[in-house]
A = this chain, B = another copy of it.
């Protein structure tokens, strides 16, 4: 009681959930979250109370969860991927102080950088950066600067929110920045609907990625300079070979 679990579900399917995530949802009196995420799990807990809000009502949802916990109930707020990566763990912790006695516990999950990487092979085997291309909450200039620095550092890069209806050309703009530093032949890949029905993926060069149409359900991977395509898989060497 008096607790909000903020739960990372992974890509959505039951098989990607941790036992800890399942236990938190089991214990909760009510499951809450963005409609689409609650829909992923409510069949697992038939009859359990749910509270859903649409996409743009994040803070409202956090306040409802904290208020409900402060009143003595146990809430599980569900997020796709990891609760702490562009998820709801942050706003819940920031607001918790206003709701005396409500405790927040973060339950981590498999974020799409990891689940997408597993589909493509092993693109994140060495140092990597995760960057969101959404400028809804972040100035575009900052995103550009981070892309340029990540490219200069030779990191593998995972892009979240690479596109949306209003931002149809953002991936192209991002690739143009990366192409100033990186070879057009850099091995890249994308995965769509990770772990869900209709999962698709593709390996391609950075030059081709620039002209690719992706949607908001896609996660994009840009290889480091060392990343290779090995029998249709995207692999960034860790360096064991060099040491041999």
- Please, how many angstroms separate the alpha-carbon atoms of A132 and B123 in the complex? 15
Least Cβ–Cβ distance between A177 and chain B, in angstroms: 13
B58 near A90: Cβ-Cβ < 8 Å: no
A132: B residues at CB distance < 8 A: 126-127
A243 near B137: Cβ-Cβ < 8 Å: yes
A203 at interface by CB-CB < 8 Å: no
- Please, how many angstroms separate the alpha-carbon atoms of A69 and B242 in the complex? 25
- Please, how many angstroms separate the alpha-carbon atoms of A165 and B85 in the complex? 32
The interface-forming segment of A15-23, A45-53, A205-213 is A15-23
B124 near A85: Cβ-Cβ < 8 Å: yes
A108 near B115: Cβ-Cβ < 8 Å: yes
A128: B residues at CB distance < 8 A: 85, 129-130
Instruction: Out of B16, B83, B91, B242, name the residue touching A19 (CB < 8 Å).
Output: B16
Least Cβ–Cβ distance between A96 and chain B, in angstroms: 7
B106 near A121: Cβ-Cβ < 8 Å: yes
Least Cβ–Cβ distance between A159 and chain B, in angstroms: 10
A55: B residues at CB distance < 8 A: none
Tell me the interface secondary structure of chain A in the complex: mixed
Q: How many residues of A contact B (CB 8 A)?
A: 75
Least Cβ–Cβ distance between A63 and chain B, in angstroms: 11
The interface-forming segment of A27-35, A150-158, A168-176, A182-190 is A150-158
A152: B residues at CB distance < 8 A: 149
What 6 A-B pairs have minimum CB-CB distances, sorted nearest first? A137-B239, A90-B125, A89-B122, A106-B118, A149-B153, A90-B122
- List residues of chain A with CB under 8 Å of any chain B CB: 8, 10, 14-20, 23, 58-59, 82-87, 89-91, 93-94, 96-97, 104, 106-111, 114-115, 117-119, 121-132, 136-138, 142, 145-146, 149-150, 152-155, 228, 230-231, 233, 235-244
Given pairs A104-B233, A107-B118, 19 additional interface contacts (CB within 8 A) = A10-B18, A16-B19, A59-B241, A82-B110, A85-B124, A86-B125, A86-B238, A89-B118, A93-B235, A94-B241, A106-B118, A114-B114, A124-B130, A126-B132, A127-B146, A136-B243, A137-B240, A137-B242, A149-B150
